[in-house]
Each structure stands twice: as C-alpha cells, then as structure tokens.
Structure 1
C-alpha cells in the first residue's frame, strides 16, 4: 500500500532534492509538496489533498512558519493524530527539543547532499511502513 508524505518547504531546491530522494528510495511513496503552511491547512481543510501518513514541515517558511503550522495541526481534532517531522537548516538541539515539545515526532537538519537525503528518506519510509515513526532513532546521525 502506498504511503503518503506531505512536504511543506518554501525552498524549491530543498523540495526538489526531497522529491527526487523519495523517488530513488521507493515508488510506494506518494509525495505532495507545498510551499506554505497556510496552503497546507487550507488544502487539508477543503480536501484538495489526501490525508497524509506523514507531514515533513520546514520550520522557516514565510508568513505562517512551521511552528505556527504545527501548533494549528496539533490543536485540530481532525489533524492532531498526524505525525509531523520538523526540519530546518539548523542543527541545534534546542530546536529539536522545541519541536518535540510542540508535538513533532522528531526533528532533522536539512542534509547537505543528495546521498544524505536518500538515507533519511529510506529510514523514514522504513518506520512509516512499519507504523513506528515514534521509534525513529533519536540522537542518531540524522534524527534528534
């Protein structure tokens, strides 16, 4: 069964790397990419996009940033069950702790190369397929 990942990132290069890495890892992942948190919430509310199995949310998106978007998702009875992974160019453990405290499954820093994107996607997909995203290895090479 195909898993649905929803990526929210305003940076086109980062979106493209992520999408390409998903395609290289598995054809059993359907990915939808959006540029803003506002669009995410609107498109979920009006059924324009299917309910995802996982949301990967950039922290630093303009206007309605990742923190505000995560907060709205976690307040909503319709969406609070959705696993959200935050990511950013930051590699701060404080940022990772803040993400977890706000309700994210975990946090990872945006990789510097395509190979790392594929490794991250592969690990995400394995846990998503097994239904154990909460067991992503925290304090690993990628996930905090």
Structure 2
C-alpha cells in the first residue's frame, strides 16, 4: 500500500442492526474502495458512542439504517444534527427498506444528506456505495434515490 493511498483513506461508519446487511455492505465497500476503513455499529447508541468518543477518528460519511433497536436512525440523525453537535456538516446517508414519502421527508427535515431505499442486488449495493462515497457533499443539495428503480 502506497503512502498516497494511506493519506486518502475514506473513513466510513455504518449503523445497521442486521448483521447480514453489514457484511454485504462491507464486502461491496471493499470491492469499490479497498483502502476505505469501515467502522460498524449495530445500533444508534453504539454509533453515537463512536462519534462522541474523543479517541475515534471522525468519519467522512455515515450510512444509517432507520429501523434499529434502542435508538433508531431518525433519533440518531436528530442527535447528529443537534444544536450543539459538531457533526452538522457530516454527510449522513439514510438507508431504509421504505420509500414512503413521509419517511423520506422526515429524514430530510432532520438533516439527512441523502435517502436511499436499500438496493436489492449486490451490484446495486456496489453502485450506490461507489456513487455516494465519491459524491461532493459540500456543493450539492440532498437527494433521494430508490436504487431498485435505477
């Protein structure tokens, strides 16, 4: 591994209570960006502990499932975007099995950077990860994508 690759490693956080979904995401990410560093959380409480740990490196992007125990994705997003939060500009991608317009709107109202309906195939997962980790979040508006329709 070259020094250049080390200096440009993306730090990705993924919060999802489904172990199989996390494993699939990790495998797809490793194919899209083999130098990315993935940190996994099985729920929103664990994700917030990671984000607030002064010894943890700040992620470049967070992928956040909506339906999780203890602290769901919407609650977590609300904390990430909270008034005193240092993570207001952190790109947060909401992952959900639902394309319900009210859920999408609520996510954007709480400050989601992007809302993704979880892809159904492995190639779609690789496509959405590749597109979203390379996206220039600081010069574009939030969007919604249902990768099942692309």
Q: TM-score range by the shorter chain?
A: 0.7 to 0.9
1:61 is matched with which residue: 68, 89, 92? Answer: 68
- Residue 48 (structure 2) pairs with residue 41 (structure 1): yes
1:1-144 to 2 correspondence within 5 Å?
A: 1-75=8-82, 76-127=84-135, 131-132=136-137, 135=140, 138-142=143-147
| Coordinate RMSD, CA, aligned | 2.1
- Which range is displaced more, 35-44 or 56-65? 35-44
Secondary structure in structure 2 of the residue aligned to 1:7? strand
- Which range is displaced more, 15-24 or 40-49? 40-49
| More helix per residue | 1
Secondary structure in structure 1 of the residue aligned to 2:134? helix
Distance 1:118 1:137, change over 3 A: farther
What displacement does 1:22 show? 0.3
| Gaps in structure 1 of 5+ consecutive residues | none
TM norm structure 1? 0.87
| Gaps in structure 2 of 5+ consecutive residues | 1-7
Alpha-carbon distance between aligned partners in 1 of 2:130 and 2:96, rounded to the nearest angstrom? 18
Q: Which has the larger radius of gyration?
A: 2
TM-superposition CA deviations, 1:75-124 (whole Å, max 9, x none) = 14322221111111112232222111110001001111111100101111
Secondary structure in structure 2 of the residue aligned to 1:135? coil
Paired residues, what number?
140
Given that 1:105 and 1:133 are in contact with CA atoms closer than 8 Å, whether structure 2 keeps it comes out as: no
